[in-house]
């Protein structure tokens, strides 16, 4: 069964309107409501003083109207009483700047023991009280879990408080075991950085162009994702002490590595994982909606959810173009074709106050209907062609695209945040830095996109496991590659697979150390000279080959490699029809 629902926050509306609102939500055709994930102060207005009367009433009304509930555990944003009583729980930037007490989120450091204690107690209270409630369908822990900043316009890095630093030291010791191995992996002989004690280890606090170690930087990003994963897994286990039945998950949003964790790591212990998707807000064409749905489905070990689908006009962030209504039908068709089992719109009505005032609502601010509502009613009609078309769907793909998170982080680290400079430094180019990873996979996706056909994405864990059961694998931005990952890809080719890849294949290992001999030499039996940065991206220069853009096709075992010595997928993303047609003929059978 597919669940269709909507976000509606009862605590932000008069109680006298709740009954009618839930009745209208049910009448629309929805069978699920999401709330609670941003309301810590609603259920605990003062430390240790809990008031569940409002939440009790909201759940009772949902039960009355035959609505199921995705109930949020509101640990993502600390209430004002917590921040003011325990001010050192605020996240700390690399330069010592404290994150704001309220407004931006998350406003609290998840590594702080006081926060952890209070968030654990809150989780236990909610699980103990509601685990048998007839209206409960799913639990959502946290909301879009990240380390600050959530906003891409903030260039500071968080958190550098003593608690996070201590956790980073412990993580490094657990991963590398000895200081010798840490110093080797992080290249600390360069510029006198050798650590003689674990206590000397600190997160990378230098600016991107101030000689920050790319190796520590890469592990810092891995640490933050794994730390969030472990926290989510801990909260899940706290719920499991009371509730052995209901599925537990969380949600994430699309974005560049500068501000989002590795979703594949966060989703590891979750029964479901969801994407918050704002196609108009992000100026997304249908192809991009499909791509991000396919990408997020690949993260899921359990169910794939759409936790927030744009229901109305964006405010505060992103593109404010009006959502008319018909485009919603297209989005729903695309998302169902990609295997979403639960789809929730955000939100029922636009907020009348707060940082998202007048944003995202399906209805008008006064609660009156819109064309968007009528379109959604048509979609949810039991006789709807959309629902019947995708009623039983298990997306299968013969072709896959690799999204290599470590390679994306490295491209970002080498270029830094976009900004103009003068003097000896080259101007930052976000197309080959900050956005290179995503633009490259978008280009690869454009190459093979078809409206109702899902495409699989492979993560680093898939390359490590070696279960590459596809006819063709496309590998954009192949800059970082471990020996194990490379050997598994090579086996895939030798056994009959086709690998399509591009410039800078296997130049760096998993620690971002430069290979003395790039892996591309073994793969293609060529001699690699260097790469150059061009207006179009990167260009590999090979000995005995002309210095120009070209495709090299190499048979190996029962399979073959199709290698572009330039940024092929970035060019396709930018609209190059020549690069697109160059590869299309090699994909006719896929």
d(CA 536, CA 431): 9
- Helical axes 436-448 vs 577-584, angle rounded to 10°: 50
Q: β-strands 528-534, 537-542: how paired?
A: antiparallel
Helix (H), strand (E) at residue 216: helix 214-240
Q: How many CA atoms lie within 13 A of 243 on its CB side?
A: 24
3-state secondary structure at position 387: helix
- Give CA angle at 465 (460, 471), nearest 5°: 85
Which DSSP state fits 515?
P
Sheet-wide strand order for 472-475: 456-458, 399-402, 472-475, 498-501, 559-564, 551-556
Residue 396: the pLDDT is 77
| Inside any domain, residue 460 | yes
Residue of 62, 41, 61 whose CA lies nearest to 52: 41
Which DSSP state fits 144?
S
d(CA 129, CA 44): 14
Domain that holds residue 575: 399-587
Instruction: Look at the chain and count its residues.
Output: 590
| Inside any domain, residue 552 | yes
Cis amide prior to 200 (ω within 30 degrees): no
| Inside any domain, residue 426 | yes
What CATH number is attached to the domain comprising 420?
Answer: 3.40.50.880
The strand pairing partners of 530, in sequence order, are: 541
Residue of 531, 511, 536, 510 whose CA lies nearest to 520: 531
Phi, psi of 113 (to 5 degrees): -65, -30
Q: Domain count for the chain, please give it.
A: 1
Residue 423: the pLDDT is 57
Burial classification of residue 293, based on how many CB atoms lie within 10 Å of its CB (0-12 exposed, 13-18 middle, 19 or more buried):
buried
d(CA 465, CA 330): 36
Taking a C-beta distance cutoff of 8 angstroms, is the pair 138, 130 a contact?
Answer: no
> Based on C-alpha coordinates, what's the Rg of the chain?
25
| Inside any domain, residue 66 | no
Helix (H), strand (E) at residue 4: strand 3-7
Phi, psi of 252 (to 5 degrees): -140, 175
Instruction: Please report, in tens digits, the pLDDT of each residue of the chain (590 residues total).
Output: 789 999 999 999 999 999 999 999 999 999 999 999 999 999 999 999 999 999 999 999 999 999 999 999 999 999 999 999 999 999 999 999 999 998 888 999 999 999 999 999 999 999 999 999 999 999 999 999 999 988 767 778 899 999 999 999 999 999 999 999 999 999 999 989 999 999 999 998 865 555 578 899 999 999 999 999 999 999 999 999 999 999 999 999 988 777 789 999 999 999 999 999 999 999 999 999 999 999 999 999 999 999 999 999 999 888 999 999 999 999 999 999 999 999 999 999 999 999 999 999 999 999 999 999 999 999 999 888 787 776 655 677 899 999 999 999 999 888 766 555 555 566 778 899 888 999 999 999 999 998 888 999 999 999 999 999 999 999 999 999 999 999 999 999 999 999 999 999 999 999 999 999 999 999 999 999 999 999 999 999 999 999 999 999 999 999 999 999 999 999 999 998 888 887 877 775 55
d(CA 198, CA 195): 7
Residue 393: the pLDDT is 58
Phi, psi of 206 (to 5 degrees): -75, 160
Q: What is the 3-state secondary structure (H, E, C) of 551-563?
A: EEEEEECCEEEEE
In the chain, how many H helices and how many E strands?
Answer: 20, 16
510 token code pair: 């998993």
Can you list the positions of beta strands (E) in 335-432? 342-346, 399-402
Taking a C-beta distance cutoff of 8 angstroms, is the pair 282, 276 a contact?
Answer: no
Residue 316: the pLDDT is 85
Taking a C-beta distance cutoff of 8 angstroms, is the pair 118, 126 a contact?
Answer: no
3-state secondary structure at position 564: strand
| Inside any domain, residue 81 | no
Residue of 140, 302, 160, 301 whose CA lies nearest to 223: 160
d(CA 45, CA 122): 12
d(CA 141, CA 233): 10
d(CA 506, CA 499): 14
| Inside any domain, residue 34 | no
Residue 47: the pLDDT is 98
Burial classification of residue 302, based on how many CB atoms lie within 10 Å of its CB (0-12 exposed, 13-18 middle, 19 or more buried):
middle
| Inside any domain, residue 9 | no
497 token code pair: 């697979």
d(CA 585, CA 181): 47
d(CA 398, CA 141): 34
| Inside any domain, residue 88 | no
| Biggest CA-to-CA distance, the chain | 78
Residue 586: the pLDDT is 74
Taking a C-beta distance cutoff of 8 angstroms, is the pair 364, 352 a contact?
Answer: no
Distance of alpha carbon 358 from its chain centroid, rounded?
A: 26
Residue 210: the pLDDT is 57
d(CA 202, CA 221): 13
Residue 257: the pLDDT is 76
Terminal-to-terminal C-alpha distance of the chain: 31
């Amino acid at each position: 069964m597919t669940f269709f629902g909507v976000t509606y926050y009862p605590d932000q509306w008069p109680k006298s309107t709740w009954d009618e609102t839930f009745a209208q939500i049910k009448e629309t055709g929805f069978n699920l409501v999401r709330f609670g994930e941003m309301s810590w102060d609603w259920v605990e207005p003062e430390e240790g003083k809990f008031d569940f009367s409002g939440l009790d009433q909201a759940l009772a009304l949902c039960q009355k109207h035959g609505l199921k509930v995705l109930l949020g555990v509101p640990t993502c944003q600390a209430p004002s009483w917590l921040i003011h009583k325990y001010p050192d729980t605020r996240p700390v930037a690399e330069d010592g700047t404290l994150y704001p007490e309220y407004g931006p989120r998350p406003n609290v450091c998840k590594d702080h023991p006081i926060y952890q204690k209070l968030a654990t107690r809150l989780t236990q209270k909610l699980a103990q009280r509601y685990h048998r409630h007839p209206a409960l369908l799913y639990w959502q822990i946290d909301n879009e879990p990240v380390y600050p900043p959530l906003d891409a316009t903030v260039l500071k890095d968080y958190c550098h408080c003593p608690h996070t630093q201590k956790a980073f030291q412990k993580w490094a010791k657990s991963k590398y075991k000895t200081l010798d191995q840490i110093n080797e992996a992080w290249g600390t002989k360069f510029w006198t950085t050798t650590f003689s004690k674990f206590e000397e280890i600190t997160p990378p606090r230098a600016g991107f162009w101030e000689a920050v170690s790319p190796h520590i930087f890469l592990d810092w990003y891995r640490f933050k994702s794994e730390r969030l994963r472990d926290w989510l897994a801990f909260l899940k286990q706290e719920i499991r002490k009371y509730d052995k039945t209901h599925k537990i998950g969380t949600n994430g949003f699309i974005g560049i590595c500068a501000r989002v964790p590795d979703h594949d790591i966060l989703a590891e212990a979750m029964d479901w994982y969801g994407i918050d998707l704002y196609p108009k807000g992000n100026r997304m064409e249908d192809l991009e909606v499909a791509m991000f749905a396919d990408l997020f489905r690949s993260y899921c070990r359990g169910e794939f959810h759409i936790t927030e689908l744009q229901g109305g006009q964006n405010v505060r962030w992103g593109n404010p173009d009006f959502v008319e209504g018909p485009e919603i039908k297209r989005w729903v068709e695309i998302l169902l074709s990609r295997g979403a089992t639960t789809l929730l719109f955000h939100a029922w009505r636009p907020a009348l106050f707060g940082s998202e005032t007048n944003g995202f609502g399906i209805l008008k601010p006064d609660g009156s209907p819109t064309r968007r509502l009528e379109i959604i009613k048509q979609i949810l009609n039991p006789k709807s062609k959309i629902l019947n078309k995708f009623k039983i769907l298990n997306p299968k793909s013969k072709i896959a695209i690799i999204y290599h998170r470590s390679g994306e982080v490295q491209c970002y680290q080498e270029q830094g945040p976009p900004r103009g400079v003068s003097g000896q430094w080259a101007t930052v180019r976000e197309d080959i830095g900050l956005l290179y990873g995503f633009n490259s996979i978008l280009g690869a996706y454009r190459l093979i996109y078809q409206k109702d056909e899902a495409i699989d994405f492979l993560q680093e864990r898939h390359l490590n496991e070696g279960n590459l059961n596809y006819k063709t694998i496309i590998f954009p931005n192949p800059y970082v590659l471990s020996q194990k990952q490379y050997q598994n890809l090579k086996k895939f080719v030798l056994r009959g697979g086709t690998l399509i890849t591009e410039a800078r294949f296997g130049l760096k290992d998993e620690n971002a150390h430069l290979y003395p001999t790039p892996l591309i030499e073994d793969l293609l039996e060529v001699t690699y000279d260097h790469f150059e940065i061009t207006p179009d991206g990167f260009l590999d220069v090979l000995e005995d080959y002309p210095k120009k853009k070209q495709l090299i096709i190499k048979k190996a075992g029962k399979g073959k490699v199709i290698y572009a010595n330039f940024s092929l997928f970035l060019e396709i993303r930018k609209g190059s029809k020549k690069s697109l047609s160059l590869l299309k003929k090699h994909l006719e059978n896929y």
